[in-house]
Amino acid sequence: MAAAREAAEREPVRGPLSGVRVVELAGIGPGPFAAMTLADLGADVVRVDRPGGGSLAIPAQYDVTNRNKRSVLLDLKDEEGREAALALTDRADVLIEGFRPGVAERLGVGPDDCLARNPRLVYARMTGWGQEGPLAERAGHDIGYIAVTGALGMTGPAEGPPVAPANLLGDYAGGSLYLVIGVLSALHHARGPRGEGQVVDAAIVDGTSHLTAMIQGMLAAGAWQDRRAANLLDGGCPFYGTYATSDGGFMAVGALEPRFYARFAELLGIADEAPPREDVAAWGELRALIAARFASRTRAEWAEVFQGSDACVAPVLSLTEAPAHPHLAARGTYLEHGGLTQPAPAPRFSVTPTGVYAGPARPGAHTAEVARDWNVPSLTPSAASAASDASAASAASDGDARPASGTREVLGETPGALHDASEALSGTPDGPAPTVETPASEPADPFEGEHPTS
């Protein structure tokens, strides 16, 4: 026993969730991001990919949301594949799926199927509309989910349309992160005295609505107007917004508190001519004055003016510019792994540091490895052979960007040189496949109506 303990102590620490096993039924959007977050925190995440399954419209080697994971290739419509998936679930602490309600049940991997075999399992379900309600069966995307919560309606100019903040607000903030919160909470309960698993129903509409809690309180108190660009935090206030510079760049201003505003006005050079900031009727005049001043210099010049001050002003950077920002570079907020510049895991831990230990998992690349480590012999040999063929085909088609064995970037270590590279992402439809009439003798495809929210 002492030898085993010593061996365990020699193992590298890979995050506070080390030892937690997660099965992810492959999808796109918030489910994979949530699974990546758990993997970044140290969980052993096995992604169950299926032959010909959907993914982001980019080569697998660039899908950063599949980093730190392992992948097996299983056909859940096949009895052998389904049994192998259930065998993995028997040994897991968490299962994540993102199908539309009822699809997992039709495949034979629903909550009842899995919890009957593993009563301590946390069965985490990620959807846009939730498991119940009038829209539960409908297709959707991030923009539609946040639209009905009121969150999208808060963005954009007063006289223009709302502005979609990519898919960050719904898919990832209102979806993925709430799924992770649910998983960790349910896992804590499952490991407590009662030792029981449960289903976590994470819906993007619920999570995004929850994010508006403070604003709803301000609305009820009369401190928020239910219209765009009319409030303190939505661009209505002239000292909380963005302004164009002479070179086409932008500066972000958030000088809300009086002492920060005073420093802002001083450095901007408007302290002697600006109307009182408390005079809401003069906000139009103040906004025009601020805009004129910012338009007189470049973004770089203004960034230098405000550098090191408490004026609460920052340059608006692009995705390719962000990794080189001095503060982010000093913290190692971005790192390079396998030739890909990517955000480092967050948050940070003093005792159980996190890191990027493996690049994006290729579909089926780890079938034999997982079969051994999780003691699921049903994954091999036929499954491993098929997975190996699929992985080889993938590598041949898009090149191999995986790092050498053992290569890793750990927070706290100096990140490697950063590459300025970007890939355009093509959207993947988040709806059912076209409806096809099937003869009565042929069962409908159980993946029909799959719900990979995005």
Quickly count helices (H) and strands (E) in the chain: 15, 13
Q: In this structure, what DSSP letter does residue 361 have?
A: P
pLDDT > 90 in the chain, percent: 79
Indicate the range of 266-275, 313-322, 407-416 predicted with least confidence: 407-416
Burial class (CB in 10 A: 0-12, 13-18, 19+), 194: exposed
Does 240-316 match 2-211+330-410 at the fold level?
no
Average pLDDT value over all residues in the chain = 86
**Region 229-243: what's the mean pLDDT?**
97
17 touches 43 (CB < 8 A): yes
Confidence check: pLDDT of 417 > 70: no
Which residue, 89, 36, 105, is CA-closest to 449? 105
Structure tokens at 340: 């890909």
pLDDT in tens, 337-389: 999 999 999 999 999 999 999 999 999 999 999 999 999 999 985 544 554 55
Catalytic sites, residue numbers: 141, 171
The helix/strand/coil state of 21 is strand
Domain boundaries, the chain: 2-211+330-410, 240-316
Count of CB atoms situated within 10 Å of the CB of 449: 20
Q: Which H or E element spans position 328?
A: helix 326-331
Q: What is the dihedral of CA 274, 277, 278, 280, to 10 degrees?
A: 90
* 240-316 maps to CATH 3.30.70.2190: no
Beta-strand ranges (E) seen in 121-217 are 122-127, 198-203
pLDDT at 109: 98
pLDDT at 389: 53
pLDDT at 58: 87
Burial class (CB in 10 A: 0-12, 13-18, 19+), 9: exposed
**Region 131-142: what's the mean pLDDT?**
97
Structure tokens at 412: 């706290």
Select the more confidently predicted residue: 413 or 209. Answer: 209
Which residue, 301, 413, 343, is CA-closest to 37? 343
pLDDT at 338: 95
Alpha-helix residue ranges (DSSP H) falling in 212-282: 213-220, 258-268
Instruction: Return the exposure string of 223-241: e unless at least 16 CB atoms fall within 10 Å of the residue's CB, then b.
Output: ebeeebbebeebbbbbbbb
pLDDT at 422: 29
Confidence check: pLDDT of 327 > 50: yes
Which residue, 118, 97, 121, 124, is CA-closest to 197? 121
83's CB contacts (< 8 A; 6+ apart) are 378
361's CB contacts (< 8 A; 6+ apart) are 47, 60, 66, 67, 69, 70, 71
Which residue, 362, 360, 368, 361, is CA-closest to 84? 368
Which residue, 147, 118, 145, is CA-closest to 133? 145
Confidence check: pLDDT of 449 > 70: no
**Region 264-291: what's the mean pLDDT?**
97
Which residue, 109, 101, 98, is CA-closest to 55? 98
Q: Maximum CA pair distance of the chain?
A: 83
Q: What is the dihedral of CA 382, 387, 392, 393, to 10 degrees?
A: 110
* Chain position carrying tokens 């990517």: 342
Q: In this structure, what DSSP letter does residue 434 have?
A: P
**Region 48-77: what's the mean pLDDT?**
90
432 touches 139 (CB < 8 A): yes
pLDDT at 152: 98
pLDDT in tens, 81-103: 999 999 999 999 999 999 999 99
pLDDT in tens, 195-221: 999 999 999 999 999 999 999 999 999
Q: How far apart are CA 394 and CA 245, in angstroms?
A: 45
Q: How far apart are CA 277 and CA 258, in angstroms?
A: 9
266's CB contacts (< 8 A; 6+ apart) are none
The interaxial angle of helices 258-268 and 283-294, nearest 10 deg, is: 50
pLDDT at 243: 98
Three-state SS letters, 291-359:
HHHHCCCCHHHHHHHHCCCCCCEEECCCCCCHHHCHHHHHHCCEEEECCEEEECCCCCCCCCCCEECCC
CATH superfamily of 2-211+330-410: Crotonobetainyl-coa:carnitine coa-transferase; domain 1 (3.40.50.10540)
pLDDT at 267: 98
